[in-house]
Amino acid sequence: EVQLVESGGGLVQPGGSLRLSCGASGFTFSNYAMSWVRQAPGKGLEWVSVISASGVTNYADSVRGRFTISRDSSENTLYLQMNSLRAEDTAVYYCARASGSGMGSGYYKTNWGQGTLVTVSS
Amino acid sequence: DIQMTQSPSSLSASVGDRVTITCRASQSISNYLNWYQQKPGKAPNLLIYAASSLQSGVPSRFSGSGSGTDFTLSISSLQPEDFATYYCQQSYITPRTFGQGTKVEIK
């Protein structure tokens, strides 16, 4: 059974940093692209970032230059390093597994974690 | 970026009703359109991929159609467990934009 478990969320001050982790099990982690998607309180889903199985990355404009996605296949873990955090980054952050290894057209998110809440506030 | 617009934003329906939700893309996305269901406090769950393919384990009362810019998600006979928010998402290009969601409520 595919399982994704996020951790690392919490309360951080504006301008601060946080690193989220997503532990994966039940599948060959190194074979799949992985994504982060966030949801502000009471709002819709917002795609944040993706990393292919080979390590190619892409970001939403709203986080580019501040967030860094990475993966460690030896630990079966996905990461999201978040720097220069702003109030508008407050959200539940979900990791999701893609249907394949790349970032090309057609890949969709087959499995999601339960999410971890990040609150940016002074 | 490709804008995804869902309609309606919310709807009220009764158990047994047929429900249709529409998603429109700001440019052609072929059939690279996916639908997710999200219940309160839970992660999204994949229902339909590639516009019309039913994800394994999803009840057959869910169906999707469309291509190009216009897509629909239909629920043939609404069940109590279907009251949720539904999102479309394009997987044509990054950023993988979502629609704003359609909340299906009990009438």
Chain B CB contacts of A99 under 8 Å are 49
Span of A29-33, A107-111, A115-119, B69-73 with lowest mean pLDDT: A107-111
CB contact under 8 A, B46 and A60: no
Residue of A nearest to B48 (CA): A108
pLDDT at residue B34 tops 90: yes
Task: Report the percentage of chain B scoring pLDDT > 70.
Answer: 100
**Which pLDDT tens digit goes with each residue over B56-93?**
999 999 999 999 999 999 999 999 999 999 999 999 99
Q: Quick one: which of A121, A3, A110 has its CA closest to B48?
A: A110
List of chain A residues whose C-beta atoms are within 8 Å of the C-beta of residue B64:
none
Inter-chain contact B89–A114, Cβ cutoff 8 Å? Answer: no
Using the predicted structure, report yes or no on whether residue A25 has a pLDDT greater than 90. yes
Q: Is the pLDDT of residue B106 over 90?
A: no
Segment B38-45 mean pLDDT: 97
**A·B CB contacts under 8 A:** 61
Query: Among all residues of chain A, which has the CA nearest to that of B85?
Result: A44
pLDDT band at A72 (very low <50, low <70, confident <90, very high): very high
Q: What is the mean pLDDT of residues A69-74?
A: 97
Which residues of chain B lie closer than 8 angstroms to A44, CB-CB?
87, 98-101
Distance from CA of B79 to the nearest CA of A (A): 23
Does B43 sit within 8 Å of A115, measured CB to CB?
A: yes
Question: Residue A102 pLDDT more than 90?
Answer: no
Residues 6+ apart with CB under 8 A from A112: A4, A37, A94, A95, A96, A97, B43, B44, B45
Q: In chain A, which residues have their Cβ closer than 8 Å to the Cβ of B46?
A: 108-110
- Distance between CA A33 and CA A96 in Å, rounded? 9
Confidence of residue A105 (pLDDT cuts 50, 70, 90): confident
Residue pair A36/A85 in contact by the 8 Å Cβ criterion: no
